[in-house]
A = this chain, B = another copy of it.
Amino acid sequence: MTDRPRIRNIADLAKIAGVSPGTVSRALSGAGLISQKTRDRIQALAREHEFRPNIMARNLRIQRTGAIGVLIPLGHETGQHISDPFFITMLGLLADALTERGYDLMLSRVIPTDDDWLERYADSGRVDGIIVIGQSDQSAVLDRAAARYRPLVVWGGHSRGQVHCSVGSDNVAGGDIATTHLIERGCKRITFFGDPTPLEIAQRLEGCRQALARAGLADALTVFPAHLAAGLNDSDITAYLEHAETRPDGIFAASDVIAMSALRALSELGMAVPGEVKVIGYDGLALGEHTVPRLSTVRQDLTTGAHNLVDLLLRRIAGEDTSSVVMMPELVVRLSS
């Protein structure tokens, strides 16, 4: 074999090819003026020696990394895990969307301790742009970072006056849709399951109130601040349903995960769904298709959501200015309501 001396960089390859490093670079990177003959020759040589140019060096020179950071701030609830079905679904979709566009995905879970975690990450030069999943309770941080760092988009609720560019569904409308559906099904005593600390949940609750008010049922609402995290809820929810003074005949869960917990609690208490209690979730996750009974829900189209996030981000990276996108959620009636 002639590849005794391992080829470790473009200069080595240039030496055995009898050309300059610059020529090798042009031959391998595809672009640039170079004769077809030498290009073919050098590419063949590179293949033969299993040589691939070092990406880090390229990144440094080129000033781009080809990677997008996906950050998941877990501010309001430390119990909420990165393996939460919602995050995870979104993550998978983002991975697919970014791969299609030729970007890698750099995942970081963030537990905000200080208030410049986002700016630190942005300045580290590790990524070309950042997608944050969920505002959690970090809106201020997001706004401050967005003012200075352009390639940043956020999945979550949209509020008037926010500085950062966000993609999300209209949570108020979604809350309204869900509640209206329960009302149409004849529910008179509705309980909202969810802790309204994060913006999106608060908006869903607002939509819920709005629908009830319109129907003249303003005081038919109870709010039970269930955790977002799967698993933390189960005993709480069971206890709540068991001891509630007036049992609800309709449950609007702020997420599908919470709805699943509710379904199981109801089943254990022997309360028929949808006979005695009707249940509707929020998100439209795949797991809702597998519950018994199948879960009615308000679907946010996460697939186009992910595509929107990526699309806006890449346009921002290209220097464009983009405004937020609010998508319309959609009622999915299955068997739980």
Could you tell me which A residues sit within 8 Å of B by CB distance? Answer: 50, 52, 54-57, 59-60, 65, 67, 81-85, 87-89, 91-93, 95-96, 99, 104-109, 119-120, 123-126, 230-231, 234, 260-261, 263-264, 267, 286-287, 289-292, 294
A56 lies within 8 A of B65 (CB): yes
Docked CA distance A95–B70 (Å): 12
B290 lies within 8 A of A261 (CB): yes
A286 lies within 8 A of B92 (CB): no
Docked CA distance A333–B96 (Å): 36
A108 lies within 8 A of B105 (CB): yes
Docked CA distance A52–B149 (Å): 14
| With known contacts A54-B125, A56-B56, A60-B56, A286–B96 Cβ distance under 8 A | no
| With known contacts A88-B83, A91-B88, A105-B108, A126–B55 Cβ distance under 8 A | yes
Contacts of A52 in B (CB 8 A): 120, 123-124
Question: Most B CB atoms within 10 A — which of A57, A92, A96?
Answer: A92
A92 lies within 8 A of B88 (CB): yes
Name the CB-closest residue of B to A104: B106
15 residue pairs of the A-B complex, CB under 8 angstroms, read A52-B124, A56-B65, A81-B92, A82-B95, A88-B89, A91-B91, A104-B108, A105-B107, A106-B107, A234-B289, A264-B289, A264-B290, A267-B292, A287-B290, A291-B291
Contacts of A99 in B (CB 8 A): 108-109
Contacts of A93 in B (CB 8 A): 83
Docked CA distance A67–B55 (Å): 13
Docked CA distance A96–B261 (Å): 25
Contacts of A95 in B (CB 8 A): 82, 107-109
B291 lies within 8 A of A106 (CB): no
Residue in B81, B107, B123, B292 whose CB lies within 8 Å of A104: B107
Docked CA distance A126–B108 (Å): 16
B96 lies within 8 A of A92 (CB): no
Q: From residue A103, how far is it (CB to closest CB) to chain B in Å?
A: 10
Contacts of A83 in B (CB 8 A): 88-89, 91-93, 286
| With known contacts A56-B59, A60-B60, A85–B82 Cβ distance under 8 A | no
Contacts of A50 in B (CB 8 A): 119, 123
